Structure formats: structure tokens, C-alpha cells
Structure 1
Amino acid sequence: MPQPVVVVSEFMAEAAVARLAQSRQTFYDPTLVDRPADLQALLGTAEALVVRNRTQVTSDLLAAAPALRVVGRLGVGLDNIDLAACEARGVAVRPARGANADAVAEYVISAALQLLRGRAFFATEDLRAGGWPRAACQGREMAGRSLGLLGFGDIARRTARRAQALGMTVVAHDPLVETAEGVDLVSLDALLERADVLSLHVPLTETTQGLFDAAALGRMKPDAVLINTARGGIVDEAALAAALKAGHLGGAALDVFAKEPLDETSAAVFRDVPNLILTPHIAGVTEESNERVSEMIADSVLEELA
């Protein structure tokens, strides 16, 4: 096989892969992310590398790719890419900004709806066993409640519009935003105290690492719902599990984790935790968003290689 010019190490829409292959010699294997030695071996002649969030684009990986000109990111988070090392080598980094924003916003709303209804969506096994726990399944309505948004970028704004259409009021905390029509901008403490549903929309940085520890969770309403589609590491997973077990929170949905995929140790933290939804970093991935993200990155890569 000829040496590839484009290497795609995680899943990408087939039509977008085919477009890349029509223009440049392309190697596509969505399991390549789990074989780092094979990935490095393929990068000797590669001018483009396409990744999602699991491929770690480190200085060592870049050193194995002397011809690399662009890294296409099938998504928006860049914490798996050493941006300084890319800049030093003259490697462009092209994320798919906005292409999966609607998918994430819909995930947040759907998770909030489920968690506010309490045990209603967790009662399947009780019913299969012959139970009929109607009283225990009584939940709460979304209308009239407060959605808190930590960070008020594109995804948060789309989430806010959907929540407002369902009758929620919206409060947000973002030091970089001065005004937001129809949204009350508040301090972080006020956000924690006021939100019935709190959704995270910030990157993982030194400032946000472990931000939602036991103390922060303790400042939230005891029946509040926490949703994290941002990045693992922002929420102290053990502290969250303890709060849910103790009944100090009404529920939580986590789509991102400090370690992905979960291993035996990290998965054990969530065992027997009530009112908890866990999903495998999929909030931004739908059939439609995968097509949009993939086409956007194929365009970006081909533009850089032109």
C-alpha cells in the first residue's frame, strides 16, 4: 500500500472519508486510536491527521510526523491536542466549530427532562418485576424552573433558547460575556445557588479542573440536576457520586469523564448511584452532526493541503 498522505484515526462519516480519498492517499481505521504504535508508524509521510477526542496529539506524536501540515479535529474540544507543539512545528489545527452544537444542546435538554421527572425514567426494572411505583415516580416540570449555564458560548446559547421555549428562566456565568439578551448574567456563587438544572459549557483548564468538588456541589440546591457535556475532570466524580447517594443532589448526567473509556476503577465510582445517567462522550454525535462535522473537517483538511 502507498504511504498515506491523510490518516484518520477515529470514526468519520464514510462519505467524507471517500472525499478525502479521492484527492489524497488516505488511510482510515477508526480503531487506530487504540494502537498508538501503528498510528506513529503511519505518520511518516502524512500531511494531515484527523482525530476526535481520544487520539492524543502530543509532541512525541508530532515528532513521528515530520511532513504533517494540519490536524483536523472532529469536534471542538482541543485538550487532547498540544497546541503549542503544533504551532512550533507550523501545524494548523482545524476544529469543527458549530457543527455539533445543536446535538449537544438537544442532549442537555433531554437529560434535564428525564432527570427532573425523577424515577419515572428509571422505573423499567420495577415494572418488569411487577411493581407499580407511581408515587415514587412523581417528578417535576421544566416550566418555571431555572437553567444555569456555566459558560455562555455557542452551545450554551442554543441550549438557552430551547430551555426558554419550554418555559424555563436562564441564568449564566461567563466572565468573558458582558450582556446576554433574555439571560441573567450572575456570579458563580449565584449560579450554584439559583440553578434547578446546571449545565457545564467550559473547557478543561487549570481554573476549571476539579471546579465541581464537594464544596461546590454542596452550594447547589439539594434537588438540583447537574449535566456535564463539556470535559471530564471539571467534576469531581467521587464527590458527585457521594452527593447523589446522600440525596444532596436531585440527579446528574455525565457524558464526559476524567478517564475515557472508563476502566474498572473509574467505573466502580458510579456503581449503585441513584438518579444518574452515564453516556460515552456522545452528546455531540448524532447521525446528522456526524455528517456535518465530517464534511466540515474534510473541507478544512483539503483546503490546508491545496
Structure 2
Amino acid sequence: MKIVILDGFTANPGDLSWAELEALGQVTVYERTLPSETVARAAEADMVLTNKVVVSKEVMDQLPHLKYIGVLATGYNVVDVEAAHQRGIIVTNVPAYSTESVAQMVFAHLLTVTNRTEHYAQENRQGRWSRNADFCYWDFSHMELAGKTFGIVGLGNIGRRVAEIALAFGMKVKAVSSKTTLPAGIEKVSLEALLATADVLSLHCPLTDSTRHLINADTLAKMKSSAILINTGRGSLIDDQAVADALADGRLAAFCADVLTQEPPLADNPLLKLPNAFITPHIAWASKEARVRLIQVATNNVRAFLSGTPQNVV
């Protein structure tokens, strides 16, 4: 079997191994693939693995040997799944590999806002504490999480784990969810009620037509001006300009995000320069432990397909 990995660098920039996958077939790994290069690189492939490289109907039409597409991620919007199904091409993904890492990033962002440890560490590297007249100083009003309301939109694997951590901090947890029954300690509420009461609002719902720009000028107007908004889901869950305007006008205290609508973002994205916007470059999923799981499950998906019992099929 000829296996082509179209964009292997982000999952494995060199600190991990493809050896188990290489034992299953003839593997060619490309660090990155431009759209114009996809067909030529996959022309002889029986199996293609992709993270962000789009495999469209038009691409599939030009790949006569293709039998399998493995997405090196949980989301599989980069593949035209309907077109694949029509051609008898199996498509798989890697569910739940990054739950712990993404949940951890949510609270890394939140604690950045509430405690500003990096700010003080940088100040003290420059000698500020040593020059201080008192035994301590602070530049921000710090916030204690216990007793505050943590709002969650979407209670999938990550949303539930985030809820557990918020409860461990002593927070009240409320959620918008399609589920009828929620885990103990989580109050099910409407979106309107969540917007009005959340001190922290964290987005964990899938991106659909109904959730695109879920956070916009209208919904921001219903939130507390002291609220902290966190997005580690999908960039387009928020309207970038509306959030930037709310931050600049003092109608939103802080915005934390690991995802943006366009990635990499344009240099003039207004969120990048605001002092109360805290943006990380889509790395919540990328702990070494999560990437090890990602490659292991992706390899197991290939192995299962070759044995005639495909798993994690979408």
C-alpha cells in the first residue's frame, strides 16, 4: 500500500516517529502541501493522511487509486465526505485525542487573565521587584475563581472535562447543551441565561451554520462587561470585529483564543494588538502526549482498514 502524508509537520515536526505506520506500507511524508501540489503528490497513493490539506471532490476525481483518507485531527471538514462516500473511499478521523490538552489550555488562558503571571515574571526579570518600595506590588485587579460562574457552550468530551476542572476550582458551572441530562454539578440553561450570568464563557460547540458567529454584536451586548470570553473551539464561532470592538470599548473584559477565523491570521486582525486579547497560535491540541496519541490512533485506523474492519469512520 502506498501511503502519503500531505502535511505531517505539525503533528510530528521531528520529535516523534512514523515507524509503526511505515511498517504497514510504503510511506511518503511531506511536511506541507500547497493546494496546487495535492494531486501530483497523491497521484499514486492508495491511502492519504491529511491534517489541514483539503481533499475535495475535484481532488478525488484525479486520484484513481485512492481508497482511504485518514484525517490527522478530530474535525474532518477538510474532506468532502459525501464525495468520498460516493466513490467508496473510507474516511476516518481521530476523536478525543486532545481532550486533556485543550482543557488545560482553557485554564492556562483563564489564569493568564486572572493572575497575570507572565506579566509579573517579565517585570521582575527587568528588576522591578528589586526596586520596589514595598514587599509586593500589583498592576491589575486579580480575580478569585471560586464562586464565579463558568459558562460552557457545548458539552462534548472537551466541554465536560472543562466543566470538571471548573468545579474543582469551586466555580458554579452552567451549560448550553443538546443533551437532556447533564453531569452532576452542571446546570443546564438557555443561551440567553448563560450570556447574562457567565463570568467566564468558554466555547466548545462544533462549527455549524447555526453556531457560526454565535458570539456577535448582539450576543456580546447581553454579556457582563466584566466577563472573560474563551474560544478553543473554532475561530468562526466568534465575529472577530465585534469582539475587538467590545474589548476596545470596555464591554468585554478579556478575550482568550487558541483559534481564529483565518489561520494564520492577517497581520491587521484587530484582536492581535489589543492588550486584553490573549491569542495563542492553535496549539492547545499540540502537547507531545496528545500528538503521540494522535499518531497512534491514526496508525491504528490504517491498520484496522487494512484488516478489513475500519474504525473511527466518518
TM-score (norm 1): 0.90
Residue identity in the other structure for 1:283: A
18-27 vs 270-279, greater mean Cα deviation: 270-279
1:210 is aligned to 213
1 CA distance for matches of 2:196 and 2:77? 29
Does 2:188 correspond to 1:188? no
Does residue 1:84 correspond to 2:87, yes or no?
A: no
What are the Cα deviations for residues 117-163 of structure 1, in whole angstroms up to 9, with x where unaligned? 3x554456666495979343231011111111100111111111111
C-alpha contact (below 8 Å) 1:252/1:275 kept by paired residues: yes
Amino acid at match of 1:113: L
1:96 aligns with 2:94: yes
Alignment RMSD (CA, Å) = 2.2
Query: Are positions 1:238 and 2:237 aligned together?
Result: no
Task: Please point out which of 109, 112, 117 is paired with 2:110.
Answer: 112
What one-letter code is carried by the residue in structure 2 that aligns with 1:86? A
2: CA distance, partners of 1:44 / 1:235: 38
1:263 aligns with one of 235, 248, 266: 266
Q: Deviations over 1:102-129 (max 9, x none)?
A: 1011111111111123x55445666649
Q: Identity over aligned residues, as a percent?
A: 31
Measured in 2, the distance between the counterparts of 1:92 and 1:16 equals 25
Instruction: Please report how far the alpha carbon of residue 207 of structure 1 lies from its aligned counterpart in structure 2 after TM superposition.
Output: 0.4
Q: Is the 8 A contact 2:272 2:279 kept in 1?
A: no
**Mind listing any 5+ residue stretches in structure 1 that lack a counterpart?**
none
**CA distance in structure 1 between the aligned counterparts of 2:42 and 2:254, rounded to whole angstroms:** 44
Q: CA deviation at 1:263?
A: 2.3
TM-score by length of 2: 0.87
Q: 1:177 to 1:290 in 2, by over 3 A?
A: farther
What is the correspondence of 1:130-141 to structure 2 with a 5 Å cutoff?
A: 134-141=137-144
Distance 1:293 1:171 in 2: 30
Q: Deviations over 1:260-301 (max 9, x none)?
A: 111234x3x224312211111111110100000111001102
The 8 Å contact of residues 7 and 26 in structure 1, kept in 2 or not, is answered as: yes
CA distance in 1, matches of 2:205, 2:84: 22
Q: Distance in 2 between matches of 1:123 and 1:240?
A: 26
What residue number does 1:36 align with?
Answer: 35
Change (3 A) 1:111 1:96: same
Q: Given residue 204 of structure 1, which amino acid in structure 2 is its aligned partner? A: L
Is 1:222–1:250's contact at 8 Å kept on the other side of the alignment? yes
Count of aligned pairs between the two proteins: 298
Contact 1:96/1:296 (CA < 8 Å) preserved in 2?
Answer: yes
Contact conserved, 1:47 with 1:305, CA < 8 A, in 2?
A: no
2:158 match:
155
User: How many Å separate the matches in 1 of 2:203 and 2:67?
Assistant: 33
Name structure 2 gaps, 5 residues minimum: 308-314
Is the CA contact (8 Å cut-off) linking 2:247 and 2:276 kept in structure 1? yes
* 1:285 and 2:283 aligned: no
Distance 1:195 1:61 in 2: 45
* Cα separation, 2, equivalents of 1:125 and 1:99: 33
